[in-house]
Amino acid sequence: MKWNEVQNLYPNEWVVIEAIQAHSDEGLRLVDEMAIVQKFDDSFEAMKQCNELQRERPANEFYFFHTSRPRVEIRERRCYAISGYLQNQLIQPAPLEELVALRSFSSKL
């Protein structure tokens, strides 16, 4: 389903959507095709449902929006940690010894 179809079906509503097809462009995540998960009158309830779904199915993309928005676009944020060591990686943090070694190495640069 396209965003304009969602807007026509649910005018002035909060909706939780699942991205079926999406792409990134210049720091924005743009959702091209979506499925409606649920509609809400309250933004807080929509956010809670969205967060719960994301925890249950972390490989999927869930978002909540008010249908008054002209487009479905999300500003992307990159995850950075100590000198980029965990940059864009969904892994457990490194042991403390490695982080100390990395910190002392990067301070010499």
Classify burial at 14, counting beta carbons within 10 Å of its beta carbon; exposed 0-12, middle 13-18, buried 19 or more.
buried
pLDDT at 106 over 70: no
Mean pLDDT within 57-66: 93
The confidence band for 37, taking pLDDT boundaries of 50, 70 and 90, is: very high
Residues 10, 31: Cα–Cα separation, whole Å: 17
The confidence band for 81, taking pLDDT boundaries of 50, 70 and 90, is: low
Mean pLDDT of the chain: 80
pLDDT at 77: 77
pTM value is 0.69
